[in-house]
Amino acid sequence: MRDPVRREVFIYTDGGRILRPLLLVQNQRLVLSRQHLKKLKVMMRLHGAGACWTYLLKEGVVELLGIEEEEKVMVATNGQDLEKAREYAHAPVYTHSEIDSSFLLGLGAVMIPFLQHNQALRNLHQSEKHCRQAIGYYCTNLWSRADSSAHHLFYPQKPLVTTRAADCLQKPELMNGQVAIVAIQSFAYNQEDSIVMNQASIDRGLFRLVLWASHSLFLRFKSARSFDQ
């Protein structure tokens, strides 16, 4: 990272650093050109996605930035920001651009359907806490695992609405939760943090789960003489 104020250059070489890919921008335009895209189509067909990514890094089209470097750059959300910047003289000078707008979000947030229509606080709660508490069938090699505890839902269901990121992560193969029909009425049974459920649905296995827990048991026996007594 270069600090023009202090005239210093910081080089971080520690392992495990989180890096984020961004498209390079020069003169308010993407460095990525049509020639790059044509060559990528050929390389994808012949060599696969790994060779394409290496090609973009060598050509200087994509750059991997760390947390410290992001403090000194100006990132455009999409191509529309660059178009507006070229029209207005007082627009910010962008140095990088997002590959896709969804890359601003983490893996937990991109799983939320219609995220742009929710309040920001609701999205934060879902991505930070609720997505970790979702219960489903999270693995297929249960008998080969050594988890200390696990929850498995008996009848997980595929959600009615998913996102493109969920399809890329193959999330529909291992579902979480069940599709429940919820009726909201404001004239009776008004309760704040509870819900009135149908007993017939519970009897048929709605939200039924099993808890797997590992316990260590140590047995201490007395001598044979005292044991007989």
What are the residue numbers of the active site? 193
- Scan for tokens 């191509």, then name that residue: 79
Q: For 199, list phi and psi in degrees, rounded to 5.
A: -65, -35
Contact status, residue 55 vs residue 40, Cβ threshold 8 Å = yes
- Measured over the CA atoms of residue 164, residue 168, residue 170 and residue 176, the dihedral's sign is negative
Tens digit of pLDDT per residue, the chain (229 long)? 778 888 888 888 888 888 889 999 999 999 999 999 999 999 988 888 889 989 999 999 999 998 888 888 999 998 899 999 999 988 899 999 999 888 888 888 888 889 889 998 888 888 887 777 788 888 888 788 888 888 889 888 888 888 888 888 776 677 888 888 887 777 666 666 677 888 998 898 888 998 888 777 776 655 555 444 4
- The residue extents of the domains of the chain are 2-104, 106-133, 135-229
pTM: 0.67
